[in-house]
């Protein structure tokens, strides 16, 4: 199985150089949010058939919100959402455009092999 993660600041269209694992792997869960300066993120997980860096078809996408206080190194990761209508509501138009362009450029044949249910995620209402 092929997979890839993008981490966005909540309303920005360009992903961060770090992944969800990079930023949240060594953070403690925030037990109380008082006194915290939380930054909001969207974590996007892409999955597909294939291995390592070579997808043969894109099959699934999951999105979750996350918050992090980078000074105190504590945060919250929300559960992954995998339903098309949830994902479409969570991502901005510009984030969907970035992801669609990246998927098409990274491996055009994998994009073509993806089902309509996957490609429909990136259409704007």
Q: Give the confidence band of 113 by pLDDT, cuts at 50, 70, 90.
A: very high
pTM, full prediction:
0.90
How far is C-alpha 8 from the chain's CA centre? 7
The verdict on residue 72 lying in a domain is yes
Domain count, the chain: 1
Q: Quick check: is 99 in a domain?
A: yes
Residue range(s) defining the domain that contains residue 86 = 2-115
Q: Residue 48 belongs to what H/E stretch?
A: strand 39-51
On whether the CB atoms of residues 68 and 27 are closer than 8 A, the answer is: yes
In a domain, 107, yes or no: yes
* The token pair that represents 44 in the structure block: 């996007």
pLDDT in tens, 64-74: 999 988 888 88
pLDDT band for position 24 (cuts 50, 70, 90): confident
Does residue 122 sit within a domain? no
* pLDDT given for residue 125 in this prediction: 67
CB of 46 closer than 8 Å to CB of 61: yes
Q: How far apart are alpha carbons 49 and 9 in whole angstroms?
A: 28
* Alpha helical stretches, state H, 4-92: 20-24, 84-90
- The confidence score (pLDDT) of residue 71 equals 82
Is the residue at 125 inside a domain?
no
Q: Does a structural domain hold residue 124?
A: no
Domain annotation covers residue 123: no
């Amino acid at each position: 199985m092929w997979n890839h993660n993008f981490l966005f600041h909540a309303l920005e269209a360009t992903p961060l150089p770090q992944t969800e694992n990079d930023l949240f792997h060594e953070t403690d869960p925030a037990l109380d949010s008082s006194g915290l300066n939380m930054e909001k993120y969207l974590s996007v997980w892409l999955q597909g058939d294939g291995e390592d860096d070579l997808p043969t078809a894109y099959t699934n996408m999951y999105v979750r919100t996350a918050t992090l206080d980078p000074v105190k190194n504590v945060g919250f990761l929300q559960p992954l959402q995998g339903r098309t209508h949830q994902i479409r509501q969570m991502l901005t138009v510009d984030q969907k455009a970035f992801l669609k362009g990246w998927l098409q450029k990274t491996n055009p044949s994998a994009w073509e092999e993806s089902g309509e249910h996957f490609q429909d995620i990136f259409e704007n209402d």
